Structure formats: structure tokens, C-alpha cells
Amino acid sequence: MASSSSLFRSIPISFPSTKQCARKSLRPSLRASATPTQKARFVARRKESVSVRQLQRPLIEYMRLPASQYSVLDAERIERVNDDTFRCYVYRFRFFNFEICPVLLVKVEEQPDGCCIKLLSCKLEGSPMIAAQNDKFDALMVNRISCDTNADNDKSLMQQLTSDTIIEVSIEIPFPFLAIPKQAIESAGTQVLEQILRLMLPRFMSQLVKDYQAWATGDTSRQPLGTGEI
């Protein structure tokens, strides 16, 4: 890498005269007149619950398994990075005329009655314009999964399994969208997030129940049961 002194030597430098400075000071500042960056914010939340029939091994024991023993549930969509970190490939969706596929890196935190899945990072895959947004947005996602641990229900035949998820995205509005009202962009973005949760949470819960059933009946292979289909 060239040193700073060699770089400066390669660039001819001249200083304007006093008259030139005076003339330039009368010109309007382009920086001051530039359009400030606009950001859009999308937020979606969904809570999904299913009733689970307890088998030979209690549901709460399954929910208390260490993350290192988790099944990836769907090998077509989820891959293990390490004991408690997973990479998830979300289904492709359309936003206006663009097709987007988010790739999530999530961490699982064990809790007494279940676990909490938190987003570490998100990468957008798609057209060059979509990929260019990767350094222009922030995303937050938390999925809290729990089962009823009420002492009176511990031995109940039926247990309740709940997933409570929130997603929040803040993104700089790309130039092609600046002509669209911000409210319309935020409304469309929120609808997309809500649709993703509406489709994915029931499927996720169904896979979780099937994995519990396999584990509770003695299947310790932890083989994924999903096929990538929605």
C-alpha cells in the first residue's frame, strides 16, 4: 500500500487566490442542498400456539435440551454453524418488482421453559440493487419459544407450546423508491413481514411438534424432518 506522502506527491496541489475564494463563497453549497437520507421502518409481530400431547417423555424436558442437541428441523432451510448458532434461508418473496431472499444468522439462548432465538445478522440476496442494500439497513428479530410450566399442568396430557416473534427492519429508502410516499413503502414492507410470519410460524411449530414426538418415542438421531417446502 502506497504511503500517504507518496500519494500526496503524485497529486498536483494548487491553492486558489483570494479572489477565487471570494467568488466560490458566493456559490450555493451543494452539500447543504442535498436531500437527507430517508429511512423506512417495518415492524411485525405474531404469536402462535399449538396444543401438544405429551408422550413417554415430558415436553418440558424436550424444551430444556441444550442447543447442541437441537435438530435443525429442516436441512433444506437451516444449517448449523456451531452448537448454538444457525444459518436460516428464508423463502424468497417479492417487494414491489424485486425478488428478495434473506439469509439469517441466529443464536439460540436456552431458558428454563424453552429458548429464545435472536438475530445476529441478516444478508439480502437478489439482484445487484438488492445486494447493495446490505450495508444500508438494520434488522432485529426475537423469537421466544416456551411451553406451559405451571405446576398444576406439568403432568397434564396436553401441553401448550407457544412461539412469540417480533421482527423490526429499518432501511434507507433506495433511490428508485424515493418517488413513492414513505407511508406506502412502510405499509408494504410491514405487510411482507406479516406474511412471512403468517406462513412460516405455523410450519415451524409443526416441525417442532414432530421433532418432539420423534425424540419422546426414543429417536435420538436428531435427523431433520423438514423438506424445504412451505
pLDDT tens, 108-149? Answer: 999 999 999 999 999 999 889 889 999 999 999 999 999 986
- What was the pLDDT predicted at 69? 86
Contact 106, 119 (CB under 8 A): yes
Whether the CA torsion 119, 125, 131, 133 is positive or negative: it is: negative
- What was the pLDDT predicted at 86? 95
201-214 pLDDT per residue, tens: 999 999 999 999 99
What mean pLDDT do residues 209-229 have?
A: 75
Residue 87 has pLDDT above 80, yes or no: yes
- Find residue 142's DSSP bridge partners: 118, 166
- Find residue 227's DSSP bridge partners: none
Q: Which of 86-100, 115-129, 163-177 has the lowest mean pLDDT?
A: 86-100
Contact 174, 38 (CB under 8 A): no
Q: What is the pTM of this model?
A: 0.76
Q: What angle do CA 225, 200, 105 make, to 5 degrees?
A: 80
Please give the share of the chain, as a percent, with pLDDT higher than 70. Answer: 77
- What was the pLDDT predicted at 46? 97
- Taking every pair of Cα atoms in the chain, the longest distance, rounded to a whole number of angstroms, is 90
* Domains, in order of start, for the chain: 39-170 (3.30.530)
Residue 20 has pLDDT above 80, yes or no: no
- What was the pLDDT predicted at 34? 46
